[in-house]
Amino acid sequence: MRRLALVLALVLLAAPATAQRSLAIKQFDARISVNPEGVVDVTEQITVAFSGQWNGVYRTVPVEYRTPQGFSWTLRLEDISATDGEGTPLKVERSRERHYLKLKLWVPGANNATKTVVLHYRATNGLRFFEDHDELYWNITGDEWDVPIEAVTARIDLPSSVTGVRAIAFDGAYGSTSQNAAVAIDGASVSVTMAEPLGFHEGVTAVVGWNKGVIAEPTGVDNAMGFFASNWPLGLPVLVFLGMYTLWRRVGRDPEERPVGVRYEPPKGLTPAEAGTMIDESVDMRDITATIVDLAVNGHLKIEEKEEKRLFGLFTHQEYVFHRLDPKPDGRALERHEQYVLEGMFEHGARTVELSDLEDEFYTHLPRIKNAAFDRLV
């Protein structure tokens, strides 16, 4: 019994303490003005009844939405400020919480008192533009209030020259299609009045449309910048590519080479066969052919082109004849592989030989010619 009495005493003591702190939104009135430049100017006058000790109230504004295509769209707010009912500036603290901008409005003397807070801000991309009309789709109160809102009124003013104004309003929790609010259109102005209180996490949204041609539409550049600002992860591959390309341009590219001058003579001290061997580390037939031509250039042999007629003169055959010449007195001494080439061409002291005669015999001299060329370079 004594334990039960203690528990009951704690409950009874805690109940008054909890009841001492509460708040209620007595009135939420919004004045929304759309200017010809497409900027939405918003002034919210919120009357709050504080019970107990408070230092302010939170206003949570939805700013991030999902488009039908699955992309993000972020409402850009600027010039955020607040005053009390007499126009005295109030401190405003901002923070992001999920898809909302959370504003803490500091209210001095909010202890067991009813206070009015006036919040002002501007939205630079709050309008939607379609092919046949422009539109303001605006969540007037937000839907993150933890307490009921007893009365909601709003007035939306468009430029005086707009035509074809039409409007509806939805109320209730997020996604509700209830239309309990009264909507009145007077020229370029729309009034929204909620006849009954809003419950926990309920709000009012107005949809106002008008004919095109009055409000300035954003440019393609503005739309692109807004899209990438709201969907910045999509731009990461582009940024990575640009960064890597810039890095490649600076340090990854091969240096520009100056034009290579053409040399018509072999390097000094090297025969054609030796130069060819140094290029690909192999003594090829083209290197030996170049040696034969070089021997002719330096006067060790003469190459004669001869045309032979065959089959009663109906066909001709090109034949090349090599004539060995005596070396010039002032000529350079031949290297071993050059001497082996001459010996392989003119065997047994011959002074003249045809190319066709070399086809079946000259190849036997190739091993020692190649070895001699290699030995000269090693």
The answer to the question of residue 167 being in a domain is yes
Instruction: Provide the residue range defining the domain that includes 317.
Output: 272-377
Domains contained in the chain, number: 2
pTM of the model: 0.58
HSE of 167, CA atoms in CB hemisphere, 13 A? 27
CATH number, domain containing residue 139: 2.60.40.1730
What is the crossing angle of helices 285-297 and 336-345, to 10°?
90
Do 302 and 202 reside in the same domain of the chain?
A: no
Q: What is the dihedral of CA 322, 325, 328, 332, to 10 degrees?
A: 50
pLDDT digits (tens, 9 = 90+) for 259-312: 655 565 666 778 888 888 777 778 888 888 888 998 888 888 999 888 776 655
One domain for residues 42 and 138: yes
pLDDT confidence of residue 317? 73
In a domain, 252, yes or no: no
- Measured between alpha carbons, how far is 72 from 138 in angstroms, rounded to an integer? 17
Instruction: Kindly state whether residues 225 and 276 are assigned to the same domain.
Output: no
Q: Does residue 194 share a domain with residue 291?
A: no
Q: How far is CA 316 from CA 311, 354, 357, in A?
A: 9, 16, 18
- Please indicate, yes or no, whether residues 183 and 278 belong to a single structural domain of this protein: no
- Do 272 and 294 form a contact (C-beta atoms < 8 A)? yes
d(CA 168, CA 302): 106
Q: Check if the beta carbon of residue 353 is closer than 8 Å to that of residue 365.
A: no
d(CA 33, CA 31): 7
Q: Give 214-264 pLDDT, tens digit per residue.
A: 998 876 666 555 545 554 455 566 666 677 777 767 776 666 666 655 565
Residues 175, 281 within the same domain: no
Is residue 253, in this structure, part of any structural domain at all? no
Q: What residues have CB less than 8 Å from 270, skipping those under 6 apart?
A: 278
Pair (105, 190) in one structural domain:
yes
Establish if 15 belongs to a structural domain. Answer: no
Task: Answer yes or no: is 210 within a domain.
Answer: yes
| Whether 215 and 313 share a structural domain | no
HEC secondary structure over 308-354: EEECCCCEEEEEEEEEECCCCCCCCCCCHHHHHHHHHHCHHHCCEEE
Do 114 and 205 belong to one domain? yes
**Listed residues 175, 204, 230: the one ending a domain:** 230
Our CA angle for 146, 148, 149, nearest 5°, is 120
Do 89 and 175 belong together in one domain? yes
Q: Are 296 and 331 in contact (CB under 8 A)?
A: no
Are residues 224 and 340 both part of a single domain?
A: no
Residues belonging to the chain: 378
Q: What angle do CA 236, 102, 193 make, to 5 degrees?
A: 120
Which of 230, 263, 292 is a domain's end point? 230
* Within-domain flag for 5: no
In a domain, 2, yes or no: no
- Give domain status of residue 241, yes or no: no
3-state SS string over the chain? CHHHHHHHHHHHHHHHHHHCCEEEEEEEEEEEEECCCCCEEEEEEEEEEEECECCEEEEEEECEEECCCCCEEECCEEEEEEEECCCCECCEEEEEECCEEEEEEECCCCECCEEEEEEEEEECCCEEECCCEEEEEEECCCCCCCCCECCEEEEEECCCCCCCCEEEEEEECCCCCECCEEEEEECCEEEEEECCCECCCCEEEEEEEEECCCCCCCCHHHHHHHHHHHCHHHHHHHHHHHHHHHHHHHHHCCCCCCCCCCCCCCCCCCCHHHHHHHHHCCCCHHHHHHHHHHHHHCCCEEEEEEEEEECCCCEEEEEEEEEECCCCCCCCCCCHHHHHHHHHHCHHHCCEEEHHHHCCCHHHHHHHHHHHHHHHHC
pLDDT for 115 equals: 96
Q: How far apart are CA 175 and CA 193, in angstroms?
A: 19
Both 189 and 284 in one domain: the answer is: no
Task: Spell out the per-residue pLDDT of the chain, length 378, in tens.
Answer: 344 333 333 333 344 444 468 999 999 999 999 999 999 999 999 999 999 999 999 999 998 877 666 667 789 999 999 999 999 999 999 998 888 999 999 999 999 999 999 999 999 999 999 999 999 999 999 999 999 999 999 999 999 999 999 999 999 998 899 999 999 999 999 999 998 999 999 999 999 999 999 998 876 666 555 545 554 455 566 666 677 777 767 776 666 666 655 565 666 778 888 888 777 778 888 888 888 998 888 888 999 888 776 655 556 778 889 999 888 877 778 888 888 898 888 887 888 988 888 887 888 888 888 888 888 776
